[in-house]
């Protein structure tokens, strides 16, 4: 489904990604872990071109998105993204946040979009918040709305950029439950996370990144219990105490 070949990204002289090769299959749930500054978020943001790769190729469903003239907006409609800081639209109600894109892009009529939005809000457990403004929601609620907003576009792939890092501890569970539910439904997901327990439970595969490289990539049991690389061992021994 996603094929990433020799992906490089520089910010000026700072090389953040130094040649990443990855293949993510349909329905696969991949967690990306690693220390801060290892390039995990940049890697994720390259997949929907929020960062323009400096070099290398990314193919989604057989189409190169890095080729000149690739239709970036069309691609992004099929790739949902959830941000650490939610990034809900503060001047729109919850339901308007969710329906805005499908209506603006004429993918659904307003009635269809609202029906869809209400179903999604039920799915994330926030049916009663449809007409609330984001400012009145807790962090966990905001993040669940953000997930619903991304799902309203009926994406084939969901990217999560540290979705629980800005949440109070007691809110984390609600968001992870929604994500778990999504994984069980067969959504292809790439998740940058610091929640090791969650990565272990939900992922089909865990990628450990450090210094702009993928150091190790294996099923969670293997990676967490028997890491092959010394750097993975060192990282895990610090975070799994």
Partner 1 sequence: MIDAINTSLFSPIGEDGMIGILLILNGLKVTLIVTFFAMLLGAVLGIGTTFMKMSSKWYIRFPANLYVGVIRGTPVVVQLVILYFIVLSALDVDKITAAIIAFGLNSGAYISEIIRAGIQAVDKGQTEAARSLGLSQAITMKSIILPQAIKNILPALGNEFIVLLKETAVIGFIGGVDLMRAGEIIRSRTFEDSVPLFTCALIYLFLTYSFTFMLSKFEKRLKQSD
Contact residue for partner 1 among 67, 105, 119, 184 (CB under 8 A)? 105
Residue 76 near partner 1 by CB under 8 A: yes
**Can you tell me the distance from the alpha carbon of 171 to that of 27, in angstroms, rounded to the nearest whole number?**
26
**Can you tell me the distance from the alpha carbon of 194 to that of 126, in angstroms, rounded to the nearest whole number?**
25
* CA–CA–CA angle 48, 50, 52 (5° rounding): 95
Residue 79 near partner 1 by CB under 8 A: yes
Instruction: Specify the DSSP class assigned to residue 124.
Output: T
Residue 131 near partner 1 by CB under 8 A: no
Q: Residue with structure tokens 């984390």?
A: 172
Residue 165 near partner 1 by CB under 8 A: no
Residue 11 near partner 1 by CB under 8 A: no
How many chain residues touch partner 1 (CB under 8 A)? 27
Residue 116 near partner 1 by CB under 8 A: no
Contact range with partner 1 by CB under 8 A, out of 5-13, 72-80, 117-125, 188-196 = 72-80
CB 38 → partner 1: shortest distance, Å?
Answer: 21
Q: Residue with structure tokens 């489904």?
A: 1
Percentage helix, strand, coil, to 5, in the chain? 40, 25, 35
Residue 149 near partner 1 by CB under 8 A: yes
Nearer to partner 1, 77 or 233 (CB): 77
Residue 65 near partner 1 by CB under 8 A: no
Q: Residue with structure tokens 């949440």?
A: 167
Residue 74 near partner 1 by CB under 8 A: yes
Is the torsion defined by CA of 11, 32, 141, 149 positive or negative? positive
Contact residue for partner 1 among 29, 32, 81, 108 (CB under 8 A)? 81
Residue 90 near partner 1 by CB under 8 A: yes
**Can you tell me the distance from the alpha carbon of 86 to that of 161, in angstroms, rounded to the nearest whole number?**
10
Gap between the terminal Cα atoms of the chain: 35
- What residue ranges bind partner 1 (CB under 8 A)? 48, 50, 73-81, 83, 85, 87-91, 100-101, 104-105, 135, 146, 149-150, 153
């Amino acid at each position: 489904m996603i094929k990433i070949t020799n992906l490089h990204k520089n910010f000026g002289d700072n090389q953040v990604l130094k040649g990443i090769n990855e293949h993510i299959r349909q329905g696969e749930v991949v967690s990306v872990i690693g220390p801060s500054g290892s390039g995990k978020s940049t890697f994720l943001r390259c997949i929907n071109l929020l960062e323009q790769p400096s070099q290398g190729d990314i193919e989604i469903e057989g189409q190169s998105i890095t080729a000149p003239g690739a239709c970036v907006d069309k691609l992004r409609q099929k790739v949902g993204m959830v941000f650490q800081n939610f990034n809900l639209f503060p001047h729109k109600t919850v339901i308007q946040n969710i329906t805005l894109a499908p209506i603006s892009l004429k993918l659904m009529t307003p009635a269809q979009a609202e029906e869809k939005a209400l179903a999604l809000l039920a799915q994330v457990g926030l049916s009663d918040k449809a007409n609330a403004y984001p400012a009145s929601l807790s962090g966990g609620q905001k993040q669940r709305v953000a997930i619903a907003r991304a799902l309203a576009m009926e994406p084939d792939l969901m990217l999560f950029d540290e979705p629980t890092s800005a949440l109070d501890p007691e809110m984390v569970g609600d968001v992870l439950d929604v994500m778990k539910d999504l994984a069980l439904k067969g959504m292809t997901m790439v998740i940058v996370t610091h929640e090791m327990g969650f990565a272990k439970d939900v992922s089909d595969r865990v990628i450990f990144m450090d210094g702009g490289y993928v150091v190790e990539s294996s099923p969670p049991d293997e990676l967490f219990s028997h890491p092959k690389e010394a750097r993975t061992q060192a990282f895990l021994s610090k975070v799994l105490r």
